[in-house]
Amino acid sequence: MKARFEVNGHEVEVAVEPRLTLADCLRHHLRLTGTHVGCEHGVCGACTVLLDGKAVRSCLMLAVQAEGSKVVTVEGLSKDEGLTPLQASFRKHHALQCGFCTPGMITTAHALLTEEPECDADRVREVLSGNLCRCTGYVSIVEAVLDARTAYKGGSR
């Protein structure tokens, strides 16, 4: 089947098996390997991407279901020149170690901060509770997200 959607601002048309997940389509057909695949069961959050602005698990949907949508991966949240405020905050707070969970953390946090730039620590913890990290203990991740709120309030992300 053909699946046509937008990825990081570019229209794509991919020939896929109907059973192919969006995660595997992004990684293997479009070479966007920043989207990680951990559990493949919707549990770990490593595969989180933005679908029409909402954080979704790309392992839980089929590529053909993205037809007509706007998909943004962690690559699409980066800039050529330097780190974004959210990325810089993760570095500043040592919010990553192995980095496997980081793309999902960044995409999830970006969606949260875009919609709720005034969110507090409890809200950050609630939203990130669906993203597993086996390294950091989460405290530094929550601090990084809270510290990045300023950039989203100013709209300069």
Give residues in contact with ligand FES (CB under 6 A): 37-40, 42-47, 57, 59, 96-101, 133-136
Shortest reach from residue 73's CB to ligand FES, in Å: 13
Shortest reach from residue 133's CB to ligand FES, in Å: 3
Asked if 73 and 35 count as a contact pair (C-beta separation under 8 A), the reply is: yes
Instruction: Using the minimum distance from each CB to ligand FES, give the nearer residue, 95 or 113.
Output: 95
According to DSSP, residue 67 is labeled T
3-state secondary structure of 26: helix
Backbone angles phi, psi at 107, to 5 degrees: -65, -40
Instruction: Using the minimum distance from each CB to ligand FES, give the nearer residue, 29 or 150.
Output: 29
- Tell me which amino acid residue 132 is: L
Instruction: Count other Cβ atoms within 10 Å, centred on residue 84.
Output: 17
DSSP bridge partners of 6: 11, 70
Instruction: Using the minimum distance from each CB to ligand FES, give the nearer residue, 1 or 39.
Output: 39
Shortest reach from residue 24's CB to ligand FES, in Å: 10
Shortest reach from residue 154's CB to ligand FES, in Å: 28
